[in-house]
Structure 1
């Protein structure tokens, strides 16, 4: 993976670019609310606004439960080849645009065991009404 840029206007934010099997990926890793807002505006404008069915990949990683307060530490969102990795536990703030984006009932947020992610994000006053657990609708291909 090649680092594309370290955002000078958003310290502690980085954008990476990678080509795997002829597919381009762009990953924004950040602790900054402004980078999250920029990512949301870009994927809405470039992809979601133009589609009838809006789907966003959702995943969270959690803080170590042995160290006390178990909560969401990293929020990952993916649309087409664009991925946001938001280190929410150390963020400068949780932007209102992110809260509104995740609350949008017109967007389906899909992930595995997503109910845990939804529950843990409530710590940040994030409610996701249209989360879909892919494990409940897709059968495991391995017998």
Structure 2
């Protein structure tokens, strides 16, 4: 399967397989503290050898504000590491687990996204969730390609222009009710891919972190346009940051 979503992994009604460019992303959708703790524990175990430079894709969604002065709280927090994604629904969680506070506030972890600092302000305001170390992908792209206009674009623009990847972001999903307790399959796929693509962009050969480690020296010339997503797929994850290079060094 190239793109799509498989409903509910057998035996786990809150698990889904989301497919993007042929890559399977195991996606947990939950508001239960115990499941969030399990996801964090499993993620840190899987990536235990590189926890000192872990990179995490982050995004949030909320119900659209339809009236002047309306300010709906963050309804979903999406985190993605490797090929695993968490979609957390804090509005229905009786008590946000300490494990999530610790995970987000770990200064060894770098959280990446587009417009991420605005997202983090909302997370702190609505749910008292603080992130210690965050990088906006637009800043990375603007520095890499010496194009300040990239600081004002969205993730879809970065995907198409600099990675050759199409992202389907239908308006009916973007403006849907993210505060509902049971997300639709379209919402789950949309939310997962946003976080996954944020992570993939940060670890893609078009950016210095991966480019300097995974591409042969004779092929590192900056042509102004990066290799396509299909040419350098996201299976590069295990090779990123093996020398301890941090996203912070290029921002």
TM range (shorter): 0.7 to 0.9
For residues 1-143 of structure 1, the aligned pairs below 5 Å read 1-2=5-6, 3-5=8-10, 7=12, 14-47=14-47, 49-51=48-50, 52-66=52-66, 68-122=70-124, 123-139=126-142, 140=150, 142=161
**Pairwise CA RMSD:** 2.1
Cα deviations by residue, 1:44-89 (Å, 9 ceiling, x for unpaired)? 0101x21152100000012333374432110000001000001112
Q: Residues of 2 paired with 1:20 and 1:105: CA distance?
A: 29
| TM-score normalized by the length of structure 2 | 0.50
Q: Which has the larger radius of gyration?
A: 2
The change in CA–CA distance for 1:130 and 1:71 in structure 2 (over 3 A counts) is: same
The answer to whether the 8 Å contact 1:61/1:74 transfers is: yes
Cα deviations by residue, 1:72-122 (Å, 9 ceiling, x for unpaired)? 110000001000001112223211100111000000000110011110111
Q: Residues of 2 paired with 1:112 and 1:106: CA distance?
A: 20
Structure 1 unaligned regions, length at least 5: 8-12
Secondary structure at the counterpart of residue 100 of structure 1: helix
How many pairs were matched up? 137
Q: Residues of 1 paired with 2:57 and 2:32: CA distance?
A: 20
Q: Residues of 1 paired with 2:119 and 2:92: CA distance?
A: 17
Q: CA deviation at 1:41?
A: 0.5
The runs of 4+ residues in structure 1 deviating greater than 6 Å are: none
The answer to whether the 8 Å contact 1:60/1:74 transfers is: yes
| TM-score normalized by the length of structure 1 | 0.84
Structure 2 unaligned regions, length at least 5: 143-149, 151-157, 163-251
Q: Residues of 1 paired with 2:81 and 2:38: CA distance?
A: 14
Between Structure 1 and Structure 2, the one with more helix by share is 2
The answer to whether the 8 Å contact 1:59/1:117 transfers is: yes
Cα deviations by residue, 1:1-26 (Å, 9 ceiling, x for unpaired)? 2220454xxxxx60012455442220
Q: Residues of 1 paired with 2:16 and 2:108: CA distance?
A: 29
Q: Residues of 2 paired with 1:79 and 1:25: CA distance?
A: 10
